[in-house]
Amino acid sequence: MHVPLWVWLATVAGIIALFVFDFVFHVRKPHEPSFKEAAAWSCVFIAIAIAFGAGLWWVWGPQRGAEYFAGFITEKSLSVDNLFVFVIIMAKFAVPRVHQQKALLIGIVIALIMRGIFIAVGAAAIHQFSWVFYIFGAFLLWTAYKLGKESFEDSDEEEEYRPNLAVRLVQRWLPVTNEYHGKQLLAKVDGKRVVTPLFMVIVALGFTDLLFALDSIPAIYGLTREPYIVFTTNAFALLGLLQLYFLLGGLLSRLVYLGLGLSVILAFIGVKLVLEALHENTLPFINGGHPIESIPEIPIWLSMTIIVGALVVTGVASLIKDRRDRARV
């Protein structure tokens, strides 16, 4: 799949334009979005992502189109799971609802820029060393195990937020005030320039989402090796995340089995990566450094079926459990 430079530039410019539009239209005037507004714009951004995938399908064929949609569904699902942590961060910093849009969007943009760097590094590593898939696969299997284990543990206790490395460094090296100054990221207190809690929230959100990329980037590379598809699926998954945050709201706490569904998906992709690594093996201590051609390749349609099936089953199961729990009260 050859992607001309002008297509890359046009795509990046289009995504930047969408984020700028999102910022100007929704964030310039601080407000708490209504359910109707969040739902409408969520549909708009998802429709844009689907239209882009349809165009990619038409230009580069059904194989690449299916890879895009499988990747988009996976990345979107992982980003929804990230919202649980975003809710905790917002609560910990007591961010006023009217300013949460700004913090979320800037944090998401920072994460997208950093993910772009990760994607480029990952593409270069895969191009040079096929054994990287062993590492990606093992990491996803370990992540799936941890996520599945957490899903079966007692989740009644409120999860505690611990400041990440970026937040601790900012708190250590920059003067920070504990009081909000409207939508300002910087303020003057007693004639001294300080960073506001809103600035700290953006740092926390951006760095947290960057950590989530450690599993989402290997996951998408398990579905496609095309950097263009990897980048666009990540970009469109993050685009509209702001609206999903306000749309889902209390529904997040009711998706009790979402983590289990994501665990199944990550485990499946982890196995797929290991099988691909064996199929193209170059490590001397495995089969004498020769590829194991008898290893089957998992087709993209099967990947799509498992991904969608896991999400549908765990989503329906979550809602059934929630309904039963409410009926007992």
Q: Which residues of 310-329 are buried (b: 16+ CB within 10 A; e: fewer)?
A: bbeebeebbeeebeeeeeee
Q: Which amino acid is at 324?
A: R
Distance CA 204, CA 210 (A): 10
User: CA torsion 45→308→281→225, rounded to 10°?
Assistant: -20
Radius of gyration, CA atoms only, the chain: 21
Residue 249 vs residues 98, 105, 183, 273: alpha-carbon distances, Å: 15, 17, 22, 34
pLDDT at 308: 92
Question: Interior CA angle at 204 toward 99 and 118, to 5°?
Answer: 120
pLDDT at 166: 77
pLDDT at 253: 67
DSSP string computed for 41-68: HHHHHHHHHHHHHHHHHHHH-HHHHHHH
Distance CA 76, CA 82 (A): 10
Query: Which residue stretches of 129-196 are H helix?
Result: 132-152, 165-173
Q: Which amino acid is at 127?
A: H
pLDDT at 176: 84
Output the tens digit of pLDDT for each of the chain's 329 residues. 788 999 999 999 999 999 888 877 766 676 777 778 888 888 999 999 999 999 999 999 999 999 999 999 998 888 877 787 787 788 888 888 788 888 888 888 887 888 888 888 888 887 777 788 899 889 889 988 888 887 776 554 455 667 767 788 888 888 888 888 877 888 888 778 888 888 888 888 888 877 777 778 888 888 998 999 999 999 999 888 878 888 776 666 677 888 888 899 999 999 998 988 888 888 888 888 888 888 888 888 899 999 999 989 998 998 888 888 888 76
Distance CA 325, CA 29 (A): 39
- The tokens for 76 are 């979107």
